[in-house]
Structure 1
Amino acid sequence: MSKKHQIKTYKADAYRSNFINSEDRLKAILKADPDKFFIVKVEDLIRLMKLPVPPAKTNTHSFIYLTEGEAIMRIGSETHRIVKDECLIVAAGQVFSFDNVDINKGFLLNFHDDALIGKLAKNDLVKDFEFLKLWAEPKVSLDTQTSVFLKQLLQRLLFEYEANGLQNREIIQSYLIAVLCEVNGVYKAIADNKHLKAADISNRFRELLFTHIKTRHLVRDYAELLNITANHLNKSVKAVTGKSPTKWIDEAIVLEAKVLLYQSKLSISEIATEVGLLDQSYFSRLFKKYEGTTPLQFRKSIENTMPL
């Protein structure tokens, strides 16, 4: 065996060994370091994951593209389903969860904003990709030609990552940017048809919601931040999303609480305070209204499903 072949075999074995401990791999995905990047085939990863995955959020973006089958995931307060030639994007900071092992094939990308910073890109490049915003529509359906290009790019990116990890960062970055640009072209074409004033107000409201949810719980709070009336905000958000701002606010509070119930050891009263509700009984009633169970019961159900 040649030295070159030995090195390649060693790298491949090292890469496969990363997937031996599925629990550690899952933790790495959910709690990636700020400069973390990885790409993996969906079908390789899903077989090793411990399900269900309770509500969680990270400081990295997750990007799923399917070539076969379907995938179902809850992002924020909505459930999304994608099939062949469709993408699902979980923006950094967004709450996500999923319950079932879906039969599918495709690619999963996970990356931090810092992966887009370097010799080949400006520091604020991420701002050019609207679909990476917290309020953006997470599902993108691709046309046939874009799907062909995207699959080729992801295959090349996967090959580079499997062979060399992050050693050739400029190669990784260049293909990552190309992937995002391909998706952005489709997303912008769809978004341009929806960019009415009401849609702009709704998007800005949802962006503010993620920033201020722990301190601002009234519709008028967000109307003031947007310099419009509460009535105008109500009409715009309801017209675009089908839900009132009040419901968006309530759901955001509950989502934040679910993450804390899973990712922290804070008491129920401490979690209520953390999400800005000083009345624990009101917090419990609000949580049960949307989840059908109390915060304590929800935490126990997670503990019962987590691996020992």
Structure 2
Amino acid sequence: MFDDSSFTLVNPQNGNLAFKLSTFDSNCQFSEIQRLNYFSLIWIQKGSGLVTADFSENQFEAGDLFAFSPYQPFMLASEENIEGVAIHFHPEFFCIYKHQAEIATNGILFNNIFKPPFVTVDEVSKKILEMVVGQIRTEMQKPELAQYELLVSYLKIFLITATRLKNKQQPDEEFQVSTDAKEPYILQNLKNYIELHFKTKHSASDYAELLNITPKALAKITKNHFNKTLTDLISERIIIEAKRELYLTNKAVKEIAFELGYDDEHYFSRFFKNNAEVSPQIYRDTVGFARGMA
């Protein structure tokens, strides 16, 4: 049964949300910290306010599109009513990691630890996204043969459009405002070093040594540009990889921990829970894609 503002598909095997399209016209829906076990795309069409996500806060305006991963904590605060569209989908419905080669959205739209979790929708993209939302609404009102395949196709168009847009809007603009000519190179190298070494180097001092800079100076640069500590950035990258392994593989938690540089499975589990709000096993049981293939 559908109403005019919300359309939901449920996984018949477990009763969990599979895919949902809804509209909202107040700020109360996301005014408290959300930790959802599915991906969320939230498109603000009217209103402005403050988004809190992970370790940072950013201002948002009408036209901004948020992309949140499962269990990523976020909250939208506004002194006025905000209106928009929300699309939620469970990894069992569509897993971005599994389809990374097709849509290339991970690390750009989702799970980009160096950027705010939103993109500003321009007029051209707005028309495309509005058309896609309309097609999804129509399909969910009158489901027919191959509904899943068609909805996934529409979702891919939405994701690819948003990813292309964010890719155009994020050409290292934070490096251009620096008053220190060395900082752009330090920050770019920091990104590269975290990507290369996050499985083996977990401390801020490790990266300061690689960059030939004092830990204090690197901490200041990181905080100024990313509004996060270096420890936060390293931890987030490890958690992204851990989630990916829990999503897509049947590896034991102990094996995943070892591959990420943790000899103690229990220490890793505590680290994961502190950053993802749930234990690795609960995350796998509620979100993981691999369990469906076991």
TM interval, short-chain normalised: 0.5 to 0.7
The CA distance in 2 between the partners of 1:198 and 1:186, in whole Å, is 26
Equivalence for 1:39: 21
Deviation at 1:153, TM superposition (A): 1.4
Higher helix fraction: Structure 1 or Structure 2? 1
Q: Which moved more, 1:162-171 or 1:82-91?
A: 162-171
Equivalence for 1:16: 3
Distance 1:174 1:73, change over 3 A: same
5 Å-filtered alignment, 1:200-279, equals 200-203=188-191, 216=202, 218-221=203-206, 228-229=211-212, 231=214, 234=219, 237-238=222-223, 240-245=225-230, 248=232, 274-275=270-271
Equivalence for 1:178: 157
Equivalence for 2:287: none
Task: Say which SS state the counterpart of residue 2 (structure 2) adopts.
Answer: helix
Task: Say which SS state the counterpart of residue 88 (structure 2) adopts.
Answer: strand
The one-letter amino acid of 1:67's match is Q
Cα contact 1:237–1:243 (8 A) shared by 2: yes
The one-letter amino acid of 1:38's match is K
Match of 1:78 among 51, 56, 78: 56
Equivalence for 1:96: 74
Deviation at 1:138, TM superposition (A): 0.9
Matched, 1:125 2:89: no
The one-letter amino acid of 2:68's match is V
Deviation at 1:100, TM superposition (A): 6.0
Provide TM-score, normalisation by structure 1: 0.54
Deviation at 1:190, TM superposition (A): 1.7
Q: Which moved more, 1:72-81 or 1:94-103?
A: 94-103
Cα contact 1:131–1:138 (8 A) shared by 2: yes
The one-letter amino acid of 2:81's match is I
The CA distance in 1 between the partners of 2:67 and 2:20, in whole Å, is 15
The CA distance in 1 between the partners of 2:75 and 2:195, in whole Å, is 20
5 Å-filtered alignment, 1:131-170, equals 131-135=109-113, 136-164=115-143, 168-170=147-149
Which runs of 5 or more structure 1 residues have no equivalent in the other structure? Answer: 1-13, 20-24, 253-272, 277-282, 284-308
The one-letter amino acid of 2:61's match is V
Per-residue CA deviations over 1:145-198 (Å, capped at 9, x if unaligned) read: 211221221222223224339960111111111111111222111223448654
Equivalence for 2:42: 64
5 Å-filtered alignment, 1:281-296, equals none
The CA distance in 2 between the partners of 1:242 and 1:98, in whole Å, is 18
The one-letter amino acid of 1:16's match is D
Distance 1:184 1:250, change over 3 A: closer
The CA distance in 2 between the partners of 1:151 and 1:222, in whole Å, is 44
The CA distance in 2 between the partners of 1:251 and 1:99, in whole Å, is 26
Task: Say which SS state the counterpart of residue 15 (structure 1) adopts.
Answer: coil
Cα contact 2:193–2:207 (8 A) shared by 1: yes
Distance 1:234 1:99, change over 3 A: closer
Distance 1:128 1:178, change over 3 A: same
Cα contact 2:21–2:85 (8 A) shared by 1: yes
Deviation at 1:88, TM superposition (A): 1.6
The CA distance in 1 between the partners of 2:112 and 2:140, in whole Å, is 27
Deviation at 1:89, TM superposition (A): 1.8
Equivalence for 1:298: none
Per-residue CA deviations over 1:28-60 (Å, capped at 9, x if unaligned) read: 9xxx94x722111123xx5884x7523x43442
The CA distance in 2 between the partners of 1:126 and 1:231, in whole Å, is 39
Match of 2:89 among 107, 111, 114: 111
Cα contact 1:69–1:103 (8 A) shared by 2: yes
Paired positions, count: 222
Which runs of 5 or more structure 2 residues have no equivalent in the other structure? Answer: 176-183, 237-268, 275-294
Per-residue CA deviations over 1:204-259 (Å, capped at 9, x if unaligned) read: 678899x88xx95x4125668xx55564854763463255425x47998xxxxxxx
Cα contact 1:92–1:132 (8 A) shared by 2: no
The CA distance in 2 between the partners of 1:154 and 1:60, in whole Å, is 19
Per-residue CA deviations over 1:110-160 (Å, capped at 9, x if unaligned) read: 123454469xx9464354441111414212112222112212212222232
Task: Say which SS state the counterpart of residue 116 (structure 2) adopts.
Answer: coil
- What is the percentage of aligned positions where both structures have the same residue? 15
The one-letter amino acid of 1:15's match is F
The CA distance in 1 between the partners of 2:112 and 2:145, in whole Å, is 27
